[in-house]
Amino acid sequence: MNKAALFEQIQKKQSFLCVGLDTDLSKIPSHLLVLDDPIFEFNKQIIDATADLAVAYKPNIAFYEALGAKGWESLKKTLDYIPQEIFTIADAKRGDIGNTSGLYAKAFFEQMDFDSITVAPYMGVDSVKPFLAFEDKWVILLALTSNEGSADFQLIESKYGKPLFQEVLEKSLDWGNTDNMMYVVGATRGEKIGEVRAIVPDHFFLVPGVGAQGGSLEEVAKYGMNASCGLLVNSSRGIIYASKGQDFASAARQEAQKLQEEMKDLLTRYCH
Ligand SMILES: O=c1ccn([C@@H]2O[C@H](COP(=O)(O)O)[C@@H](O)[C@H]2O)c(=O)[nH]1
């Protein structure tokens, strides 16, 4: 899926919502635990309940690989269940020397048919380029993350007098293009989103941190939206764990719908 097709989905659904599938056996409703694959059953019901409201799904790979082979199986079944027109993100935060990155890319783009993968920029261009060699696939590069510890490195001043996240953005600009690179920018850094947008005016951002982490959707849109929307805003726990009961899927839908309604309004106000 390219940038134009993604924007088309956003316009059609009046939504830039990414539902995070951070599915944890200790948090899902207990009535599912007797089933053969509770993780997949939970995801399936969440997808059924939210697919008309979401333009992307983001399974965080840690939640699946922590369960070993069975977790990978649940992940693959989940990925295959997501409707074709919905953008998929492997939140895996990979990146290594070139030949190893190439194999990570094969794992997520060939063994599994994800549209995109999150990649850490720390090891530089040769650790990122192997992911970009895959046609119609995206790299989502960590730029300014939502956690408190992001200040430890991402906000320190480089020898050129700029914060490190700014160096990452500027340096990586010509590694890919607006049809195969996005950036992770945390919603908890509302005041900085405008700074990031000024450096990369046309790229999409994946924005985690609304919901459970308390980031403001209004601020994200105000400072980060561009003429093609340019935003995929993720919420994981705030949607998928809205209820621990039999009604978990309808409760998830309600939370997703609240965000979608706000997004519809924000698109009218800021997407031009
Ligand atoms: O900067 C980042 C990068 C990734 N994440 C991931 O996004 C989700 C957020 O989950 P919530 O439950 O909505 O807080 C999770 O998978 C993180 O690992 C992030 O939060 N911040």
**Mean pLDDT (10-residue bins), the chain, 272 residues:** 97 98 97 97 98 98 98 98 98 98 98 98 98 98 96 92 96 97 94 94 97 94 97 98 97 98 98 90
Q: Tally the domains of the chain.
A: 1
Report the C-alpha gap between 229 and 270 in whole angstroms. 8
Q: How far is CA 75 from CA 21, 104, 107, 122, in A?
A: 10, 16, 12, 27
**Going by CA atoms, what residue is nearest to atom 7 of ligand 1?**
208
| Known catalytic residue at 93 | yes
Q: Which of 93, 106, 222, 258 is catalytic?
A: 93
In the block, residue with structure tokens 């094969």? 106
ipTM greater than 0.90: yes
DSSP label at 233? E
Q: List, as one string, the DSSP characters of 159-195.
A: TTSSBHHHHHHHHHTTTS-TTTEEEEE-GGGHHHHHH
Report the C-alpha gap between 268 and 263 in whole angstroms. 9
Residue 75 corresponds to which tokens in the numbers above? 């992940």
Report the C-alpha gap between 7 and 30 in whole angstroms. 38
Instruction: Give the angle subtended at the CA of 181 by the CAs of 16 and 213, to the nearest 5°.
Output: 45
Q: What is the pLDDT of residue 144?
A: 97
Report the C-alpha gap between 121 and 141 in whole angstroms. 6
Q: How far is the centre of ligand 1, averaged over its atoms, from the C-alpha of 213 (Å)?
A: 8
Give the pTM.
0.98
Which CATH number is 194's domain given?
3.20.20.70
Q: Which domain holds residue 185?
A: 3-270
Q: Which residues line ligand 1 (CB under 6 A)?
A: 20, 22, 60, 91, 145-147, 184, 186, 208-209, 211-213, 234-238
- 3-class DSSP assignment, residue 106: helix
Q: What is the pLDDT of residue 215?
A: 94
Residues in the chain: 272
Q: What is the pLDDT of residue 272?
A: 86
**Going by CA atoms, what residue is nearest to atom 6 of ligand 1?**
208
